[in-house]
Amino acid sequence: MESNVHKISCPDCRLSDLCLPYGLQQNEVKQLATIVKNKRPTQTDEYLYLQGDAGQNLYAVKSGSFRSFISDANGNEQTIGFYLPGELMGLDALQHGFFTCSIVALETSMVCELPLSRLNELCAEIPGLQNQMLRILGKEIASDHDKILLLGHRSAKERVATFLLMLSRRYASLGFSSTEFNLSMRRQDIANFLGLTIETVSRQFTELSKDGVITVKQRSIQINDMASLKATVKPCLPDQLSFIA
């Protein structure tokens, strides 16, 4: 039943290996589950939290997807990243207890709410949980470094190709197809994330299509020639941009 989706708890969650419970023992996962609050579904374009809000919680994506962004005084936005199931949002609030970016749902989505105070207590009790927190934080930092590399030194075509490979890899680790998927974000979101305009993104999609590398139909993407796509983003060592591996 649909209503049960809300209530699936960590020990039964198919995402547990991608999320905080990874590496924990069964009873430890149960302990973790006791502090998790399930929230009602978040609708498309609904904000999970806003930049500047007090950050008392972390949020794990249970289903759907989200976009994080920083906005400036003029209302201009810079998209910082996209979050898929199993990924943790709100880590930037660990610094001072305030979120430095806003999060909006790209589709109807579910999150698990993790109160930071309880999580801290639990980290002290469960060494494996503390380690997993550090691993996740390290991953976030490494992934942000990849984004800096992407924005600093890559052409429009490389950026678009990298973006697709990044998604492909994350869908694969969720057990979905790595070659066929639907984008949950608009062209505008992709463009903004990649530091490009929507026109440029659109043109790159068109070019990759004409070359037969991908098939694009609105939000649906099919990767026909993974090797070519990867070759587009060379010259990067495979294990550098973690998402190309």
Partner DNA sequence: TCCTTCTGTTGACATAGATCAAGGTATTGT
Partner DNA sequence: ACAATACCTTGATCTATGTCAACAGAAGGA
Which are the contacts of 225, defined by CB distance < 8 A and separation ≥ 6?
212, 213, 214
Q: Out of its own copies, DNA, none, which partner does residue 155 contact, by CB within 5 to 8 A per kind?
A: DNA
Kindly state whether residue 84 participates in binding its own copies, applying the rule CB under 8 A: no
Q: Residue 127: is the preceding peptide bond cis (ω within 30°)?
A: no
Q: Out of its own copies, DNA, none, which partner does residue 135 contact, by CB within 5 to 8 A per kind?
A: its own copies
Q: Out of its own copies, DNA, none, which partner does residue 227 contact, by CB within 5 to 8 A per kind?
A: none
Question: Smaller CB distance to DNA: residue 18 or 221?
Answer: 221
**Of 21-29, 42-50, 134-142, 216-224, which segment contacts its own copies by CB under 8 A?**
134-142
Maximum C-alpha span of the chain: 56
| Residue 218 backbone phi and psi in degrees, to 5 | 55, -120
Kindly state whether residue 218 participates in binding its own copies, applying the rule CB under 8 A: no
Give the shortest CB-74-to-its own copies separation in angstroms: 4
Question: Smaller CB distance to its own copies: residue 18 or 110?
Answer: 18
Give the shortest CB-146-to-DNA separation in angstroms: 18
Task: Work out the number of other CB atoms within 10 angstroms of the CB of residue 99.
Answer: 22
Q: What is the DSSP secondary-structure string of 44-83?
A: TT-EEE-TTSB--EEEEEEES-EEEEEE-TTS-EEEEEEE
How far are the Cα atoms of 5, 21, 53, 81, 112 from residue 87, in angstroms, in the given order?
18, 12, 20, 11, 10
Residues that bind DNA in the complex, under the rule CB under 7 A = 155-157, 186-188, 195-203, 205-206, 216, 218-219
Give the shortest CB-205-to-DNA separation in angstroms: 5
Question: Smaller CB distance to its own copies: residue 191 or 214?
Answer: 191
Beta-strand runs (E) in 137-230: 180-182, 214-217, 220-223
Q: Out of DNA, its own copies, none, which partner does residue 18 contact, by CB within 5 to 8 A per kind?
A: none
How far are the Cα atoms of 53, 57, 156, 180 from residue 21, in angstroms, in the given order?
27, 17, 38, 28
Binding site residues, its own copies, CB under 8 A? 51-52, 70-74, 76, 78-80, 91-96, 100-101, 120, 123-124, 127, 130-131, 133-135, 137-142, 144-145, 147-149, 151-153, 192-195, 234-237, 239-240, 242
